[in-house]
A and B are shown apart, each in its own frame.
Chain A
Amino acid sequence: MEQSRPTTSLLKVSNLSKDFGLVQVLRNISFTLTDGTSVAITGPSGSGKSTLLHIVGTLEAPSSGRVEINNTNPFQLSEPELARYRNAVIGFVFQDHHLLPQYSVLENVLIPTLAFKQQSDATQRAHDLLKRVGLTQRLSHRPPELSGGERQRVAIARALINRPSILLCDEPTGNLDTATSETIADLLFELHGLEQNILIVVTHNLGLASRFQQRLQLVDGSCSLEGDTES
């Protein structure tokens, strides 16, 4: 990567709660993460993992509590400002890759750059990212022509195209076989090492979770943070 993010990032979650009517999904969640941190969110189904990820990713607003990213509360922004903010700060990788089937691999990677004024080096960066994820030969292919692992690699490249401060992955290996999961995980860590962003991954895979610096265990809406909290 020729360029890196210009500033140091800080994610601070304080007393975050989320309820859907009578059902409280998250309770008083608090944690702080800085650049270079990797966190795995684990927990049983329905424990609120994805909800937490979406709130951090600003896709969903909390019922109470506060989320600050680089000292900004994104939920106070207007919808267009929030979109711009999300575009610049956050990258997503979903379990279902959500690639657009009508576009080529390269085009899919470039899609986030279209939301706002395109950076002049966007295409070059897309090429670089696709080279890193090992898809140089697949630039002009469409998602239906790719394997599951290849699709997820495209999704990772797409998530990183705008150099996000925070990379959020929701079960990135959930649909993949073990070997491919390992490869994708390796790739995530490799790129995380290079980008030095905050990596948050929701996973059921405890083996994978163990490779993260920190693990956020969610049980009945409450969390406990384990691991190297200083890094």
Chain B
Amino acid sequence: MFFRSTDRSYPTTNSRGLIASFKYFWQIHLTVALCTAVATGVLAGALIVGDSVRGSLRSLTTERLGTIQHALLADHFFQPSILDRQNTVPTILLNGTVVAPQAQTRASKVNVIGVREDFFTFWAGDPVPNLNKPANRSFNAIVINEALQSELSVQIGDTLLVNVAQVADIHPEFLLGDRDAASAIQSLRLIVSDVIPTKNAGRFNLHPHQNLPFNAFIALPVLQKALGQDEKVNVLLTAETAPISSDQLTLTLDGLDLKVQVHDDHFDLQSRQYLLKPVLSENALTVATENGIPTLPTLTYLANTIAANDRTVPYSTMVALPTNGREFSVPLAENEIVLNTWAADDLGVKVGDEITVTYYSVKSGDHSVKGKETYITETASFLLKGILPIAGIAADRGIIPEFPGIHDTADMSEWESPFPIDYTLIRSQDEAYWDEYGPTPKAFISLETGKRLWKNRFGDLTTIRMSASQGSEVQATRTLFETEFLKKIQPEQIGFQFLALQAEGLQAATGATDFGMLFGSLSGFIIIAVALLVGMLFRIGVEQRSREIGILQAVGYPLVKIRRRFLFEGGTVAGIGSLLGCLLAVGYAQLMIFGLKTWWLPAIGTPFMELHLNLWSLLSGVLIALAIVMISIRLTVQRLGHAATTALLAGETDFTETTHKPKAGKEKTSSGLTIAKSLGIVLVAVIVVFFLFFDKWFSDTFGIWIEDPIIDFLVLTSSIVGVGWTVFDRWLKTQKVAKRLNRVRFAIKNAARQPGRSTTCIQTISLACCIIVAVGANRHDAPPETEYAFVAESSLPLHHSLNTPDGRFELGFSERDSELLSASDVIPFRVLPGEDVSCLNLYQPQKPQILGISDRALNEVPWTTLQPNSSHTYMIIGIADENSLRWILHHNPDEEFLVQDEFGNPLSLHLHTLENSLFQSQLIISESNFTKYFPSQSGYQFFLIKTPPELREETAQVLEKGLGDYGFDLTSASARLASYRAVENTYISTFQSLGGLGVLLGTFGLALVLFRNIIERRGELATLRAFGFSRRLLSRMLFLESCFLLAVGMLIGIVAGLVAILATHGHFPAFPWVSLTITLLFIFGFGIIANAVAVAVALRSPLLATLKSE
């Protein structure tokens, strides 16, 4: 028999007695020790899982970075010599796409890395791969990692086409920028010379992510040459621990894409990007002012036409400049213009006549509106204020920056511009003007008017002309300006970033999700179940020894000593159990890691995890588990003394029960207690209703944040479960006499025999069911539905609209394909590169990827909240996925989220949240704000696509094929959602699996209680047999009794779980009824089987002999 009977004597005192006690009650002590071992194993094991995730992420970080400590990263190319520091490794790092023509495969989001051999020294001991041009081959070499090799299915010697974004001086989205698809992409044909493992250098990546990167290495000079960036790089890496700082940078005007043209009495500051970046022009003007340098800032633009009196002058340069200075002394109002004599004569106008000017503006941002062109022809009307001879500043070509493709042509008809030109408008006199005066401006307006018309995100000045400061030569003034100006510029303002890669990587390796806490929480139920079980087992153990306690009391032992003795016994047993638990912890952690690498792989993406054992975690787990078990034992021992000594001597075993035993004639409890309990239940009911319906109102009204799903969940479930337990316990203890007794009622009332045990059983079971229902309800079994057919991402930015025939033509689609694509609606997003903030990234993201949604979409839900609000500078509205914000970024949605704009300024995002959205990897802002704060980012790299279902397959093929060079990858929108949900579902599965373990423990507890009850009630059962109850009937009734407890426990748990769902979601979500019902039925079935076994085993021995043994 599992439990000893209570009527045998055994030693009770001193250490020998203690050992004897352990020997005598070895079964119960062993069970308690095993339960403690389980608690310790589960808790410490969970902590070890957390350590292992962190340790593995740390290992990945050191593996992908090698000995690299710091990096200087720029959004443009620069000369490595600007960094005054030794031992740096110049590198080019680009995002690109790689095509294998022979295998007809393609990989996008490839890290295209231009390196020298010294790059590989960051991974000491690794062989340097062969980057030399293969002998007898026309093309240069490329080294790829195994992940890319596998993706492309290529071998050494195969040819690859590598596409990267072409580097251009002028931003593609400016009027003069080149958006032509052929010019936007630089293709390199290379031969695979080596394949390196996807570890160490093969795993190199600046952005922390556990997934395997696609890396392609090209010799640095080869890549520099292809990009036209001889000697330049965009990354410098160092293994030295001293950080790279801005004061180590020596900026040059050339490095800032600036050039200075020195003339006799002045010099002109211009940019190779045509427009002076605002940050540069503002600093230049400030420096000039501070040093007494006179300035003439000008803005030069191209007018498509200057018209009056039905005459038109095509394609003329116009200059906007201050009109109250000594260089240009014709004061101009906002609507006034000055023409040179040639233009005035050509138009036949006189002062006071109306002049109409047309010019292009580039549709910045939403150029996806159907039927509209990228270039918008704008019109402005002026009154002719004056006519200037072509002399002085009116004849000065120096203020006109070079228009690439225009400036150096002999004839206007040879212009090669990125914008459309109607060559039919060009007349012979225009060519004659061009021959004589070139781009000399024909019209002048005030600088304010010019800025109003032509200012854009890339700047509002094209030239700053500076004269010699008083008493100084031009050259000296220039030198002074250059020195002061370069001192003024902060590298961060012009796109430099100083990264402590190793430290930040290790920081990120702490992980977005604390798996230790996660598994600790997931295992929490097991620990609670174990604590309850240990408490119950220990109580049973103590109850077995009621006679011993009675005798000790009778011979004068103080109760405190008896308690201490039991506590010591329990502590010793638990201590032994917890030591055993250490071994179990390692095994449990191994099992969880195995699970994460196999069954629950979606939770971590790649099977990178290894066991990392931390003794502190092990010790913490041991101590916490031991503390929990000891509290449970302490609570049991504390109840010793509730029974009279005589009762204990008589062998009464229910001394720890607080069974309500009203005295004769006084069945009702005191009215005060009843009122208090009633009030308690009412209070809980009020709390439940409050958190269900009024939490939002309370938060809004009083500004106290209580509207939180977690708070709702915890408060409601604990309230409901607590009330359920209390009501059931009270019901057990105050069973009324039935008007009519039947077998069912008879069996159910048996549960009231040991109310404490019965309540403990339902506690464990109800907790398990509550958690399983509440968690399981969040499972998304059904394929996710979304109005979008596809989510697409491109490695290289698209500058043409997929929504317009012109855009599709520019992107190279055939007429047929274009017609097919016209059935789709594409919402394009701009992309600021950053880290994935979804649950797919295990690292703690530091710099989230930000999307700028096309302004066209802002009228649609949910984007309406992103309507630009210009009243706040550096504070804008954004959208984030609630789960990502809360669980990955660990950010309170009610607080501002800080990012940095392109110039290093803090930008505050007020984030609205979406639930279970497609945007779990990024933050979203409006395109207007995106281009305002990140102006240098160009094109679109993220797309939402609506396509009729019948055209989806064909559309996907056409898009992926047509935009292959851009690395355009389509994913089904529902598949993308499903990938996020897979992580969530995996966590839920993990939770349910661990919850299932808890259920097993709970059921084990129930079976144990049943077994123990049967043993204790053998006399009663024998009596029933004597009265004609057959063995089968007895079995059935005992079985019914345990099923009743199982059903009550499950019912309380299910109700609490359902209410928790209602509170958390505000409604019942798409409920996975089937899987949940199956799970619950499984629990019920398992419980039934366990109970049946317990009944069968307990009734196996002859009952009737019990009657005689008395």
- Which one, B1022, B1030, B1033, B1110, contacts A95 given CB within 8 A? B1110
A141 to B1107, CA, bound (A): 25
- Which one, B662, B735, B1029, contacts A83 given CB within 8 A? B1029
Contacts of B1110 in A (CB 8 A): 94-96
* Contact call B741/A100, Cβ cutoff below 8 A: no
Given A60-B1104, A145-B664, check contact A115 B737 (CB 8 Å).
no
- Which one, B664, B742, B753, B1107, contacts A54 given CB within 8 A? B1107
Q: Encode contact with B along A145-170: 1 for CB under 8 Å, 0 otherwise.
A: 10000000000001000100000001
A144 to B1104, CA, bound (A): 23
Contacts of A91 in B (CB 8 A): 1027
* Contact call B661/A145, Cβ cutoff below 8 A: yes
* Contact call B1025/A96, Cβ cutoff below 8 A: no
A162 to B1029, CA, bound (A): 13
Say yes or no: is A65 at the interface (Cβ < 8 Å to chain B).
Answer: no
Say yes or no: is B125 at the interface (Cβ < 8 Å to chain A).
Answer: no
Q: Encode contact with B along A46-86: 1 for CB under 8 Å, 0 otherwise.
A: 00001100100101100000000000000000011001111
Assign chain A's interface to a size class. Answer: 35 or more
Say yes or no: is B752 at the interface (Cβ < 8 Å to chain A).
Answer: yes
Chain A-chain B contacts (Cβ-Cβ < 8 Å), number: 108
A86 to B1033, CA, bound (A): 14
- Which one, B661, B662, B1028, B1031, contacts A86 given CB within 8 A? B1028
- Which one, B661, B667, B738, B743, contacts A107 given CB within 8 A? B738
* Contact call A98/B1023, Cβ cutoff below 8 A: yes
* Contact call A98/B1019, Cβ cutoff below 8 A: yes
- Give the residues from 25 to 56 in chain A that come closer than 8 angstroms, CB to CB, to chain B: 50-51, 54
Min distance, Cβ B756 to any Cβ of chain A, angstroms: 13
Say yes or no: is A23 at the interface (Cβ < 8 Å to chain B).
Answer: no
Q: Which of A54, A83, A138, A144 lies at the interface centre, i.e. has the most chain B CB atoms within 10 A of its CB?
A: A83
Say yes or no: is B257 at the interface (Cβ < 8 Å to chain A).
Answer: no
Say yes or no: is B663 at the interface (Cβ < 8 Å to chain A).
Answer: yes
Contacts of A101 in B (CB 8 A): 753
Min distance, Cβ B338 to any Cβ of chain A, angstroms: 108
Contacts of A59 in B (CB 8 A): 1025-1026, 1104, 1107-1108
A179 to B738, CA, bound (A): 33
Given A92-B1023, A92-B1026, A98-B1023, check contact A145 B735 (CB 8 Å).
no
Closest to A139 in B: B737
Contacts of A123 in B (CB 8 A): 740-741
Contacts of B1029 in A (CB 8 A): 83, 87, 114-115
* Contact call B1104/A88, Cβ cutoff below 8 A: no
A158 to B741, CA, bound (A): 14
Given A60-B1104, A96-B1019, A123-B740, check contact A102 B735 (CB 8 Å).
yes
Q: Encode contact with B along A90-132: 1 for CB under 8 Å, 0 otherwise.
A: 1110111010111110110011101110100001000000000
Contacts of A140 in B (CB 8 A): 667, 736-737
Min distance, Cβ A54 to any Cβ of chain B, angstroms: 6
Say yes or no: is A204 at the interface (Cβ < 8 Å to chain B).
Answer: no
* Contact call A88/B749, Cβ cutoff below 8 A: no
Min distance, Cβ B974 to any Cβ of chain A, angstroms: 57
Contacts of B662 in A (CB 8 A): 145
Say yes or no: is A142 at the interface (Cβ < 8 Å to chain B).
Answer: yes
Say yes or no: is B1024 at the interface (Cβ < 8 Å to chain A).
Answer: yes
* Contact call A114/B746, Cβ cutoff below 8 A: yes
A95 to B1032, CA, bound (A): 26
* Contact call B663/A145, Cβ cutoff below 8 A: yes
Min distance, Cβ B841 to any Cβ of chain A, angstroms: 58
A79 to B395, CA, bound (A): 125
Contacts of A57 in B (CB 8 A): 1026
Say yes or no: is B750 at the interface (Cβ < 8 Å to chain A).
Answer: yes
- Which one, A94, A115, A138, A141, contacts B1030 given CB within 8 A? A115
Min distance, Cβ B1025 to any Cβ of chain A, angstroms: 7
Q: Encode contact with A along B752-766: 1 for CB under 8 Å, 0 otherwise.
A: 110000000000000
- Which one, B664, B738, B752, contacts A138 given CB within 8 A? B664
Say yes or no: is B1020 at the interface (Cβ < 8 Å to chain A).
Answer: yes
Contacts of A87 in B (CB 8 A): 1027-1029
* Contact call B1019/A92, Cβ cutoff below 8 A: no
A94 to B1025, CA, bound (A): 13
* Contact call A112/B746, Cβ cutoff below 8 A: no
Min distance, Cβ A169 to any Cβ of chain B, angstroms: 12
A201 to B800, CA, bound (A): 108
- Which one, B737, B753, B1020, B1025, contacts A104 given CB within 8 A? B737
- Which one, A54, A102, A115, A170, contacts B1104 given CB within 8 A? A54
Min distance, Cβ B448 to any Cβ of chain A, angstroms: 95
* Contact call A115/B1028, Cβ cutoff below 8 A: yes
* Contact call A83/B1025, Cβ cutoff below 8 A: yes
Given A54-B1107, A107-B749, check contact A86 B1026 (CB 8 Å).
yes
A218 to B735, CA, bound (A): 45
Contacts of B746 in A (CB 8 A): 103, 107, 111, 114
Contacts of A54 in B (CB 8 A): 1104, 1107-1108
Contacts of A90 in B (CB 8 A): 1026, 1028
Contacts of B661 in A (CB 8 A): 142, 144-145
* Contact call A115/B1033, Cβ cutoff below 8 A: yes
Contacts of A107 in B (CB 8 A): 737-738, 741, 746, 749
Q: Which of B661, B1023, B1033 lies at the interface centre, i.e. has the most chain A CB atoms within 10 A of its CB?
A: B1023
A173 to B53, CA, bound (A): 72
Given A102-B752, A104-B737, A123-B740, check contact A116 B1107 (CB 8 Å).
no
Min distance, Cβ B26 to any Cβ of chain A, angstroms: 30
A217 to B737, CA, bound (A): 43
Contacts of B1027 in A (CB 8 A): 86-87, 91-92, 111-112, 115, 158, 162
- Which one, A51, A60, A110, contacts B741 given CB within 8 A? A110
Min distance, Cβ A113 to any Cβ of chain B, angstroms: 8
Closest to B752 in A: A102
A86 to B1023, CA, bound (A): 12
A142 to B749, CA, bound (A): 12
Contacts of B743 in A (CB 8 A): 114
Min distance, Cβ A98 to any Cβ of chain B, angstroms: 4
A95 to B1110, CA, bound (A): 9
A107 to B746, CA, bound (A): 8
Contacts of A95 in B (CB 8 A): 1110
Closest to B743 in A: A114
Q: Which of B735, B753, B1032, B1107 lies at the interface centre, i.e. has the most chain A CB atoms within 10 A of its CB?
A: B1107
Min distance, Cβ A79 to any Cβ of chain B, angstroms: 6
Closest to A57 in B: B1026
Closest to B662 in A: A145
Contacts of A96 in B (CB 8 A): 1019, 1110
Contacts of A144 in B (CB 8 A): 661
Closest to A105 in B: B737
Given A80-B1032, A83-B1025, A115-B1027, check contact A50 B741 (CB 8 Å).
no
* Contact call B741/A114, Cβ cutoff below 8 A: yes
- Which one, B664, B752, B753, B1023, contacts A141 given CB within 8 A? B664
A114 to B1030, CA, bound (A): 11
* Contact call B1108/A102, Cβ cutoff below 8 A: no
Q: Encode contact with A along B727-745: 1 for CB under 8 Å, 0 otherwise.
A: 0000000011110111100
* Contact call A102/B1031, Cβ cutoff below 8 A: no
Closest to A159 in B: B1027
* Contact call B1033/A102, Cβ cutoff below 8 A: no
* Contact call B1020/A51, Cβ cutoff below 8 A: no
List 14 A-B pairs, Cβ < 8 Å: A54-B1107, A87-B1029, A91-B1027, A95-B1110, A96-B1019, A96-B1110, A100-B750, A114-B746, A115-B1024, A115-B1027, A139-B737, A140-B667, A140-B736, A140-B737
Q: Which 7 A-B pairs have the closest CB atoms?
A: A87-B1028, A83-B1030, A98-B1023, A112-B1027, A140-B737, A102-B753, A115-B1028
- Given A79-B1031, A100-B1023, 15 additional A-B pairs, CB 8 A: A83-B1025, A84-B1028, A86-B1028, A87-B1028, A96-B1110, A107-B741, A107-B749, A112-B1028, A114-B741, A115-B1027, A115-B1028, A115-B1029, A123-B741, A138-B664, A139-B737
